[in-house]
Structure 1
C-alpha cells in the first residue's frame, strides 16, 4: 500500500489500468521527467504491481491484475476486521 501512496505512482497505475504504455507516454501524460518515471516504474515493478515488455528500443509497462486483486482482498479483510471491531466496541485498556 505504501507503494501506491505516492501520488505520481498512483497516477501511473491509473494510466496503466487503461493500456500498456512506455516511459515516453508516461512522461507525456504526467509531465514528470523520464528519470523520475523510470524510478517510479522500478518501484512498481519491484513491488510486483507492474510487468515490462521490451518492444524494439522501447519498453512497455502493464499492470499485473492478480497483484491488484491480492491488494484489494487484503484491504477487504482489513475493512471486515474494522467493522467487527467497531460493532463489538473492542478497545485495549490503557495501563
Structure 2
C-alpha cells in the first residue's frame, strides 16, 4: 500500500495522468473506506466490552443465587422433622 502511494506521488508531477488516474481513484476509494473500517472496529470493540460486562454480571448473579439456594437448603435440612416421623402408640391402632 505504501508503495502504491509513493508511486502515485512520484508520477503525479511528471504529468502521467493515464497512469495516475486509476491509481488516484483507487486511493480515493480506499480513503473513503477508512472511516467505515474505523467505525466497524469501534462497534466491535464496544460490543466486546459490553459482552464482558454482561458476562461478569450474570456470573455474579448466578453465584449469589447459588449461595442463597444452598443456604436455604442447609437451613431447611437443619430443621427438626416433625410430620413424617410421629410415633403412634399401640393404643391408637387398637381403636
Return the TM-score normalized by structure 2: 0.35
Q: Which has the higher contact order (CA 8 A, sep 6+)?
A: 1
Higher percent of residues as strand: 1
Determine which structure has more spread, i.e. the larger CA radius of gyration: 2
